[in-house]
Amino acid sequence: MKSRPIYPGLTWAPAAARHLMVAEGEGAGALVDLFAEAPEGAAGRSEILYTAGASAGSDPTSRLSALGARVVHGFPTVETLLFRLTSDLSRADMGLRLYVAGSESFLGRVVALAQTHGIDPLSVIGELRGSLARRVQCVHCKGMTEGVTTSIVTCAHCGLSLFVRDHFSRRLGAFQGVCVDAEVPGEVPAPEVLYP
């Protein structure tokens, strides 16, 4: 699918003046792996923003603090992390490199937010770790439904049965959902699990 982003994995951009790293859930492991190969002086120019997000398990904030980054901030939710990221990006200077690791939904949201601050989505260094569950925008009410793992989902906002298309909007950081029973109301096929 041409519109779906590909995240090749985290690698250092050694010439960057500042490394801003954003991770959610299992994405913390990607940062640990990245710092194992840190060029000299890179850790001191790094800042980490982390949230466990929806993932259950131990909080790796202390493990991330031990990596040697200049600053490590832990956040209770994805929304609070994105609020802080908005502030950081609004004050960013040339030479900043943005790194993101976590679930597909999280990656999409961070890249979309970065784009609103003038960062080209293709310049964000990303690694998919964790869930492939999708963030879906209802094209009818414009509401977002998180954590979608099936081909058909009920919109969390307007209640329509949506077919989840394989079209990814980089601007929204979401896949598109269209009414599945528009022609024959009530005729909704059984959803298929796409991402267990």
Is residue 140 a contact partner of residue 159, using CB atoms and an 8 Å limit? Answer: no
Examine the pLDDT at 1 and tell me if it is beyond 60: no
What is the value of pTM for the model shown?
Answer: 0.88
Placement of tokens 């998919």 in the chain: 128
Per-residue pLDDT reduced to its tens digit, 134-164: 999 999 999 999 999 999 999 999 999 999 9
Per-residue pLDDT reduced to its tens digit, 87-141: 999 999 999 999 999 999 999 999 999 999 999 999 999 999 988 899 999 999 9
Residues in Cβ contact with 179 at an 8 Å cutoff, skipping those fewer than 6 apart: 140, 160, 161, 162, 163
Amino acid at 65: S
How many CB atoms are located within 10 Å of the residue 138 CB? 23
Q: What is the pLDDT of residue 60?
A: 76
Q: What is the pLDDT of residue 55?
A: 63
DSSP state of 150: B
Phi then psi dihedrals of residue 145, to 5 deg: -120, 125
